[in-house]
Every structure is written in structure tokens, then in C-alpha cells.
Structure 1
Amino acid sequence: MDRRTFLKGGAALAAAPALASVAGLSPAWAAAQDPANIRNWHPDMRYRPHGLTGVGVSALGFGMLRLPMLEDRKTVDEAKTIPMLRHAIDHGLNYVDTGYVYLGGQSEAVTGKALADGYRDRVWLTSKSPWWIMERPEDFHKFFDESRRRLNSDVIDFYHIHMIMHRGWKDKVVPYRLGEKMQDLKAQGKIRFAGFSFHDGVPLFKRVVDAAPWDFCLIQQNYLDTEHEAGLVGLNYAAANGMGVSIMEPLRNGFLVKPPARVQAELDKAPHRRHPVEWAFDYLWNKPEVSVVVSGMSSMDNVRDNLAYAGRSAPGMLDAEERAVIGRAARAYRAAPGAIPCTGCYNCIPCPQNVAIGYLFNMVYNQYKADGDKARAHRLVNYSMSPVQRGDKPGACNDCGLCLPKCPQGIDIPAELKRIRQELEL
């Protein structure tokens, strides 16, 4: 059954939208329901507070990375992308997420074109500063000004330090004083809010949160990744510190659009059927700590479907049985034969040989054991795993064993890296 068929059958779920569901939550939630407080308010969209920023954001954000491409697979199809983004904005979406490095700069450029003709004033615009291509501290301002030119906007509303990890934090963010530079931009009115996106473990996440007066963060979260990277602990820690929390990878790089049969079988046991995409979104929107779920959309059908899902979202929208269904689906994924019992806590990094241990275990190999898709596993390693950012391939391991006492699961990490290398032919 396709996504649109599921939408047509969603009347029972659509009957539960939302304004009453915010009763008992914070005053910020009440403010986020007042059309007078919302940029680009639309009656069919639901809005949520972005932490203590005072901003109400649409439940769904438009991630400008996985855009439709021309036949060369290298060039953004602007004729498709611009109408998609404008359609989303016309139906109440007000959060647009891009980055300096996305699609080689094409993402910011097409975003700027799409936000012409008055659309810029209807949205909260985000972008990101990439530490890994900075060669000197001055590059921070160089990249920021390039982003503004591409976006055709003097002000970037939500500006991130992109993809903070242990190497970036130690080698660039701290010595280049990027946190202070962000606060300077905010004081000058060039950005409205300062934050960061994150791909590491909970200890570093807490250290980063505590290091500066951040307004928001962007973390990976979905119903399979409750412990991976910042996880639920990080989500709650940021929210408790008053930060808005934006969510990336709600569909785990597309994996949850069509989950493995063992996962789908558990979802199918729910009394009220949902498309797998809606299950993934609803898991997140159920949590009041989540401000906005950023989703990459590559077709107009994706946009329309996701807008419909967002339009019936609310904190606390899942009942006990529905939450149990999601829990059983996640357990079924983790129980795939041959899966490594890795939670993605990242205690094993940094690795002296720079091996991307947690990412290889949790995001590459365990997904492969669940769905058998070796081509997807190769893409995740060869195209999504920069050695500068996440780390190196399993063959870089030299059996030093320093990771072994760090693993709370007691995994024989060098042996498992050899298994991954052999089985996936990496």
C-alpha cells in the first residue's frame, strides 16, 4: 500500500489534531498555538515552540539536501525543487534547513531562488558552518558571508556549527573559538539564533551544551536510534536547558520509508494503521521536547504526504498501545540475526586509527543485517562517511585493542570490524 492510500484512510487519526493536546504544557506551547505569534500561520499546519527562543515553528521542516536532481545526478532540478518548497510554505511550513556544503553549494543557491518573491519573509531560514573545511579561523566569516550571498539574505535566522564531533570540537571549534564567533554574529544581528548540529556521543553532547549559551541544536533521532549519538538522553538534556531541538534523519536516511519485513510486521499489529513514514514522524511529534522534524523531500508527493502527517500531529498523540507497537518494532530490528549489539553510544571513539566504529556497527552493518541491502551499506560507507568527519573504514583497524574496555556492551570490536570488512567487501 502506498503513502497516498494510507493518507486517504486516515480520517480516524485526523480527528485528533491537537490544540487540546497542549493543555498542561508550558506557556511556550500555548503561545505556539496563537496565529498572531506564528510566522506563516496556516490552519492545516501544527506549530511548536523552538525552546525558549520565543519562536513557533511548523512541526515539519523542509530539509534542502535530498532534492530532485537532473539526469546527470549532479545538478539540482530547480524546476521541481522551487515549486515543492513554495507549495510547502503555502501550506504553513515555516522552517527551511540548508547548509553551506549541501550539494556543493547548490542547496543554498536554490533555496535563495525559491525564497524570492516574498517567500523569505514567511519562513525561519537555517544554514550551517562546516568546521572540517576551515583552514584558518577567518574561514568562519568567509563561509558565513558566502552563505548569505547564496541565500540572498542579510540575516540567517538559525545558524549552526555543522556536525560537531570529537575531532571537530577539539581541532577546530574550540581553538578557532567558533562558539564565540557565533555569539558575535548574534550580537550584530546577522543571525537570530546560535546552535549546532551533532554526531557524537552523550558525554561530548553535554559538554558542548554546557560550553555556550546555545539557543538550539539539531540531532539525529528516530525510533531506532534512541541511544545512538545524542539519543533520548541528549534530547532531554537540551530541552531541560531551554534549547529548541530540531530533529534530522527521522527516516534514518530513507531506511524507515520501507522498513524490513520483521519491523513492518510489528507495525502492522497496531489497531490503527499508519504508513511507515507516518509512524516514524509520529514517534517524534509525540514528544513535547521535539521542536521541529526536518525531513528531506525529493518529490511533490513527499511534500503533500508529509504536510498531511504534520497537520494531524501533536505532543502526546500516541496512546500506550501505539507506543508499545513502536517499541516492539525497534526490538525486532535489533534482533536481526547476526546484528552487533551496538547502541551507538560512541564510547569507543576517538579511535587511534580513526575508525568510525559506532557508525559502522549501528548505521551500516546492523541495517544491512536487517534488510540485506549491500548496495545501501556501500553507499553509507563510500558516500556518507567522510574520514575527516565520521572516520575511516574497518580496514584501518590495527587490533590495538584500546577500544575493548570502553565498550559497555563488551563487544569484541576488532573482530567485528574484520567481519564487517569481509562480509561487506569493504
Structure 2
Amino acid sequence: MKYRTFGNTGLKVSVLGFGAMRLPTIDGETGRINEEEAIKMIRFAIDRGVNYIDTAWPYHDGNSEVLVGKALKDGYREKAMVATKLPVWSVEKIEDADEILDKQLEKLDLEYIDFYLLHALNKNSWAKMKKLNILEWLEKAREEGKIKHIGFSFHDEYRVFKEIVDAYSWDFCQIQYNYLDTEYQAGKKGLQYAHDKGLAVVIMEPLRGGLLAGEAPAEVKRIMKENNINNSMADLALQWLWNQKEISVVLSGMSTMEQVKENILSATFSAVNSLTLDEIDIIEEIAEKMRGPVSCTRCAYCMPCPNGVNIPENFYLYNTAKLFDNFEDNQKRYHEMEEDNRAVNCIKCAQCEELCPQNLPIMNLLEEVAAYFNG
């Protein structure tokens, strides 16, 4: 395993972090984690040098933190550091933050949390947190020994990101970044700014919700073949990130042991400035061919839909159909879904749009998906 210095903290953190957001489940139910397999995967990763485990209050319907706590039994706590997050949308008064943090420590069964983040900050939630004097609360929690290092995860435009970075002496931040999202949200500009300010930068959605890990579209295969690129799609995306010195940790939400093994192998070959300028240009060419019509990362923050629509699955099928020019197979999969799960059943209640960290116009997009597959 390779390690990098975590900003100004001096900590040495594995370049690959284990994201406990997409753990294996039973019967496809998000809240029913396959505990035996998930614990085996996390411990396998730790045994091979991964020392950054990322979870959060809402992951797997609130069960991810409990699972991580179980995985860290039997001596594994001493080998790994844990990151979790304050769900700012659930904090209306500062006492709510106290209650949630204490509950998280209980769920994780830890005396303290190594890395604590304000979760999914945007313009509105940041304004709300400032009114509650959340920074003072974070300092107090650190003084009490409940948390060690303070950071935030982010979903908004660069201007807001810069404002938040400048507001406090953060230890780290977490941003969405991959070779498709260089100009999106904080983007490359935000990555550089945070790094220059001494923050460690943790990367989420390195594979854009799995889009950059699947089978390559025909045009991408042609580009890779012509340039003798033999990497898997996932490895190519990860190496592009690790090539950049500003990045401290790349999180991967792994769902199978095979993914764990593949990503650990990729991490062992990672290095700053390992890609040539020609290789970087080729990846930019690939990126142009990989942009689907909907920039959904399948994070599922929009779920559950009160009317039963499986929003991420509808967007996944739509993107796959468009990217791979495979309408018939994906239309078939669309109609094989339970009727309530299909895009056509959106009632435009707008609940999902308030929750989407990507700020997608979900209602309009679902209408587009329904017209495409029902046309």
C-alpha cells in the first residue's frame, strides 16, 4: 500500500480509502447489509494496508456506522482511522448535533472519531450551520476528545467552496472529483485551492457511481486500443487521480471482494506524476466519450421516493442506453422493474430535488427518461 501525508496533520494515510456507502446487501435492500461479507472485505483491506475507513450517518439507512464498528473489533481499530459525518440537514438546534455525535460514537462503539465532517455542505446548509455556531461546537467536541480532525464534504459551486475553506482552519475536505468532473462543483480549481491552504483533500465518486468502472463504450475501446492502454476502466480512473499530488485519499465504495482486491492492486502501482502528458491527453479524449446525459452518481440521497420511483436506477439505465447505444436491452430492463419504480410514476413532489447533492432537475429528467423508454 502507498501512503501520503494528510495535509498539515502529519498523519500518513493510505491512498485508497474504504467507502462504506455501497457495501454488499441482502436481496438488494439498502438497509440490510451482508454483515459477514462486508466485515470480511473491510478487514481484508485493512490487512493489506488500507487505514482510512469512511462512513456516514445516512449510509445504508443508518446501518453503515454500526457495521464499521463491528468490522473494527478484534484489534482492527488499532490499524485504521475512521471518518464519519454530521448530517447537517438533521441539525435544527445545536443540541441536535450533540445527540447525533453521541449516537454515532455509540453506533461505531468508539471512544473518538478520527475524522469528523460536516456532511454535504452547500450554500444553504453552510448558512444554517454558521447561524448555529457549528464551528465553535466542533472545537468543543474536539476539546472533549470526541473527535480528532475537522473537515467537511461538499456539493455546490466553487465560489461557495472557497468561502467555506476560508472560514476556518479545516484539517481536510472531501470533494467529488474524477476525470469527468474536473469543472464540476469544487473541481480542479477547488482541489488546488484547498491543497494550497494546507488542507488534505479526500476524493469521493472517483468512478462516478460506477460509470467509470464498467465496460467501455465502443469509441473508448477504440481509443484505448489505438494507444495501447491495457488498464481496466476503473484502474485508469484511479491512476488519473493518484497522479495528482494535491490528492491525499481516494475513496472507493466497494461492493464486492473482487473490487476490493482490484483497487488495492491499483493502489500499489499509484504514484504522483506517473502519467505522461500524452497519457493525460488520451484520458481527456476518453472523458469526452464517457459523458452520459445525466450526471447522476447513484448516491441515492434522493431515496426513498414517496411514490416508489427508483430514481438512480432509471438514470443508470438511461445513461447506459445512450452511452452504449443499446436502447433495446435497457428498455427491457426498464419495463422489468416494478411498475412503481419506473420514471413514469414521478408525481413531481420535488422532495428528491431538495435532497440531491448534484442539484439535478430530477423531475424533468425523469420525464425525459419516461418518454425515452415508453416512446
Shared fold by TM > 0.5?
yes
Within the candidate set 74, 80, 83, 1:117 is matched to 74
From 298, 323, 329, the counterpart of 1:370? 323
> Aligned AA for 2:100?
F
Distance across 1 between alignment mates of 2:36 and 2:57: 21
Select which of 79, 94, 101 maps to 2:36: 79
Amino acid at match of 1:305: E
Where does 1:26-425 land on structure 2 (aligned, <5 Å)?
Answer: 45-71=1-27, 73=29, 74-170=31-127, 172-258=128-214, 259-334=216-291, 369-371=322-324, 386-390=352-356, 393=361, 395=363, 422-423=371-372
In 1, distance between residues paired with 2:267 and 2:290?
26
Aligned partners of 2:126 and 2:370: how far apart in 1? 29
How far the C-alpha of 1:165 sits from its partner, in A, is 1.5
* Residue-by-residue CA offset, 1:53-98 (whole Å, 9 max, x unaligned): 1111101000001001112624000110111111110111100000
Q: Deviations over 1:368-424 (max 9, x none)?
A: 643466779x89998xx833333574557xxxxxxxxxxxxxxxxxxx998677547
State the distance in 2 between where 1:205 and 1:367 align. 31
2:288 counterpart letter in structure 1: R
**Structure 2 alignment gaps of length 5 or more:** 296-311, 335-340
**Structure 1 length-normalised TM:** 0.72
Cα distance 1:270–1:143, how it changes in 2: closer, same or farther (>3 A)?
farther
Whole-Å separation in 2 of the counterparts to 1:102 and 1:122:
23
Structure 1 position 210, deviation (Å): 0.6
For residues 88 and 300 of structure 1, the distance between their equivalents in structure 2, rounded to whole angstroms, comes to: 9
8 A contact 1:132–1:168 mirrored in 2: yes
Q: CA deviation at 1:116?
A: 0.5
Contact 2:353 2:362 in 1 (8 A): no
> Is 2:342–2:370's contact at 8 Å kept on the other side of the alignment?
no
Task: Note the alpha carbon deviations across 1:327-375, whole angstroms, 9 max, x for none.
Answer: 11012235x7xx59x9xxxxxxxxxxxxxxxx9xx99987764346677
Provide, for residues 119-173 of structure 1, a one-character-per-residue CA deviation record: whole Å limited to 9, x for no partner: 1111111000111122322111111111111111111001000001122123x22
Indicate conservation of the 8 Å contact 2:20/2:64, yes or no.
yes
Deviates further, 270-279 or 216-225:
270-279
Name the count of aligned residue pairs.
Answer: 336
C-alpha separation between the residues in 2 aligned to 1:367 and 1:241?
Answer: 39
Displacement of 1:101: 1.1
Aligned partner of residue 138 in structure 1, secondary structure:
helix
SS in 2 for 1:387: helix
TM-score, with length taken from structure 2:
0.82
Q: Secondary structure at the match of 1:293?
A: strand
